[in-house]
Structure 1
Amino acid sequence: MALSLVDGILPVLALALGAASLLWLGIAGRRLGLRRILVYAVVAAVCTALLYVLAEVIFHWWNASLPRTLYLYSALAILGLQLASGLMAAPGTPLSRRVAGIAAGLGILLGLACTVNLAYNQYPTVGSLLNPPTATDDPIPAPADAGADRPAASESSWSPPSDMPGEGTVYRDEIPATASGYASNTALIYLPPAYLADPGAVSLPVLVLIHGQPGSPNDWLISGRIAEMMDDFAARHAGLAPVVVMPDASNASNPDWPLCMDTSVSDSATYLARDLPAWVQQQLGAGTSGAHQWAIAGYSFGGTCAVQLAANHPDVYPTFLDIAGENQPTDADGQQALLDTYFGGDKAAFAEQNAVDRFHRMAFPDLAGIVVVGREDKVYAPEGRQVYEAARAAGADVQFQELPGGHSWQVWRAGLENNLDWLCSRLGILEP
């Protein structure tokens, strides 16, 4: 289904239903008495405050980028659900009013879910919610034989066969940590139509995409609609698109996520800059013509990661796309906690690998990148500008882009899609 959950009539109806349900419960709830309603209001406030403490002080489920209005909506939803329960439990309540109370409670939950989804654009369509795209467990097809006279794939060198598939395919596979010892969950790999053709395109370029925190490679598939995005690009370019590799950046769900650096927690930088490229070149025959065929991109945590990899391994990733990343890796318990956990308290060891510090110390004339931020993102937008200014001062060829929206998929997906032509020019598919 292509019905949108982030614009158009459906979210308007969901929000209207939630508001109407709360209004009806407020009117009907007068029979419960003012004292009970005041108790419900206090309980709603206390529960919301407890949610804040659990989410942002104790467990760090999310950070300051969360729209604060969601706490207000949560409080209203808790109040409404209490009113619904009170009305249904009141002595002498007729069956029709009990049914209406259940329906109103469901309407409030639907409205709350809609406000959360509008804040992050996690599920852009009805189809992405009810029938999300999935990857296949089929074996990945062997790459095309390069032969002596077959150059790396580009629009100028590639002629698609008549029976080329119309769409690419997303596969699951394990990328071994031969050099790094990094523990990893399963990666996702998108192979474009040109790869799947017979004969297939030779040495396609590679785009490595890093997800956010919390998150997994599936977020690129479901919320980012990466297969649809790449298929649309391929349809305009004779079936050509990058091979897209979406690794697990959580260190197999380690409570201390890696920083895309080599630390005492894990050698995630070595995994992403050495193990992953070696596996892709050997198993997929992609990115074999040189570093100019490789780019790294990500959103939020993944954007920070992309900059770290580009600054520490420009010989592997000379092209990067930082979408709403931070100005440096952070820890919810503060910077000293990060230093203690990952670097044994050694600030110099952190600065040795931190991208902005490296930009201040070194020149990067061969590095190119784009920093994308949401115009309404009050947390990450200023930090993104700091990264941009540091990279530009270091001689990198960088751009800074502001898009409508906050810290959400509205920006994250558009940040990649809007820059696909630039990426593929850098990667060699399109003529510069």
Structure 2
Amino acid sequence: MDIDLADLDFWRNPLKERNEAFARLRQLEHPVFFPEKKVPFLRSGAGFYALVRHADVVEASRNAKVFSSEPAVTNPEPPGWVKQVFGESMVNMDDPRHARLRRIVTRSFSPKMLQNLQSDIENACARIVDDVEARGAGDFVTQVAARLPIHVICDMMGIPDEYRAKVHDHVDVSTAYTGVRPSLARSVRMAGQNMMALLALQKLVIKLGHERQAEPTGDLVSLLVNANPDGEKLTDKELGSFFSLLLVAGNETARNTMAHGIKLLTDHPDQRALLTGDFDAHINGAIEEMVRFVSPIMQFRRTVTEDYDLRGLHLRAGDKVVLFYGSANRDESVFPDPDAFDITRDTKPHVGFGGPGPHFCLGANLARQEMRTMFRTLLTRLPAIRAVGEPELLLSNFDNSVRSQSFTF
């Protein structure tokens, strides 16, 4: 086969060619195994089976007992000392550890909590558009898409204004590390930069956590470090890991979807006309279709815990599988004409926020809320806004990140 999902060159191909390759893989009888090169000093695996059909991704997502998130959902796996220093991210845990942490933080994303954020999100969107009008058009990512999610997360956590520029810089370093790295030297250098950025983020929020234990202020940090009615709270390392996860995962989903979204609305004027003609009727469908079409996080990895048969393929304990969300979201058996951008389609089964099961994205509703509010503000106040030219994309097999997108209004 001339397709190699483990090869850097595959991810250099235009999106159309990659989608065609995944379509060919979906037609095969069994998932295909892709060997990986060993990278010195990094815990890269021997290879993985690619789960590219929607049904396979859903099955693996639901069955966390067999398809484990431990030791890590990304590749290369972090060395053991990283977990000792930084703590372990919730996405790299299975139950009961995962369930305990999710139980503590879930109350911070309840419908009531999110509704209380709406006024703040609206004000943030208004300020962002004010700045766009005052400064003029340039890069949609830096001026719009990247600003809102970090602002909202920092507000939720109670991060003081003077630290927010540093937080933004650290997040950019961390997300750049998810890209495909072509050399050992660059891998090591970027790993070091990523570790320093994560350390700075965690030191900041842990310091804040100690302050909120002494004097709670009602923000998210205060809720997480002080015991809930069941007597549960986050430790310093757990708070630091959760903050890093929220900033990177929570930021990237909304940021990437908005950046791709302005391009999609520009390239599909018929869909834009539908949306602007009756915003309330179509915005929810538009957001879900953007997430399906874009798949802002393209894949997660799982480790098989016991022998298991998946669509005629016999998996053995210790095997690795990769859930390719972008491919599942274009599965012809679930989404007719999957390469068409159609805000009226039924997108309920998409896996753009991860598949169903215990690891479904905790912040999905917050991301939806941010995107709905931002597109309403943009299309109301800047009705002629549109993307200009092609986006600059991060070279990555994990994060469908737009580094820059020119725009005008």
Q: If the TM-score is normalised by the length of the shorter chain, which range does it land in? A: under 0.3
Report which of the two structures shows the higher radius of gyration computed on alpha carbons: 1
Structure number with greater CO (CA < 8 Å, separation at least 6) is: 2
With structure 1 as the length reference, what TM-score do the two structures score? 0.21
